[in-house]
Amino acid sequence: MGLPGARAASLPDLIAQVRPSVLPVGTFSLTDSPRFGFRGTGFVVGDGTLVATNAHVLPEGAGTEGGPMMAVVTGRSGAEGQARRVRVVAVDRWRDLALLQFDGPALPALHLNEGGLAREGQAIALLGFPLGGTFGYSLVAHHGIVASITSVALPAPTARQLDPRALIKLRDGNFEIYQLDATAYPGNSGGPVIDAETGVVLGIVNMVLVKGSRESALSSPTGISYAIPISHLAELIRTR
């Protein structure tokens, strides 16, 4: 899906192809009502059993013994869908990325861009669930362009977060992010930003880490959205 150089007949066709690979991510508990608690968007990568999302989508304690159970919803049709349990297999808190994995049959995986950074002015679509389960987890798409490629300065980790990987990231310094002219909302966090012509994933929507550091002085939404370049996710997949 989304092979390099391939062109969809239209953006609606492209969204239809990508749809099965973009999933609601949340917690699951038999004693909760509803049992599935939506937290953000994820998308299928790698061998078809891996799901990429933002690290901040995970609740406190996720991935630890006795921590909250995580799940994705697959096979959606209206309000219906199957909650499939996932486990946390890798987290990069410095760039707010996480990888989850489920057992059982694989799903179609999206192809990640291997050609470096996207270009300013490149047409994109971002997909996700900005309204959560309000309308039965209906996938929402927004169309726009990469408005700018700019550096983001992140705050230093706390002492509790200063593990060897965090120290390496700290020495690496700032990194580049995409500024988009397509408006994303909190439920879009963790969703894919795809090339509007080929369907390859260019970035992953981020609505917390980047906005908190670049727009902390603003008290109302600006309509500006941000995404982390997908090369950082590809690195996490390789080194998990």
Q: If pLDDT is split at 50, 70 and 90, which confidence band does 213 have? A: very low
Architecture of domain 11-102: Beta Barrel (2.40)
141, β-bridge pairs: 127
Q: If pLDDT is split at 50, 70 and 90, which confidence band does 217 have? A: very low
Q: Record the tokens describing residue 193, joined without a space.
A: 């930003």
Largest CA distance in the chain: 51
H or E segment at 235? helix 230-239
In the prediction, which pLDDT does 153 show?
58
Q: Do domains 11-102 and 123-239 have the same CATH topology?
A: yes
Name the CATH superfamily, with its identifier, for domain 123-239. Answer: Trypsin-like serine proteases (2.40.10.10)
Average model confidence (pLDDT) across the chain: 83
Contact 211, 228 (CB under 8 A): no
What is the average per-residue pLDDT within 39-67? 95
Condensed to tens digits (0 to 9), the pLDDT of residues 26-38 reads 999 998 888 999 9
Residue 90 predicted with pLDDT over 50: yes
Angle at 234 between CA 214 and CA 19, to 5 degrees: 85
Q: pTM, whole model, 2 decimals?
A: 0.84
Q: Indicate the domain borders of the chain.
A: 11-102, 123-239
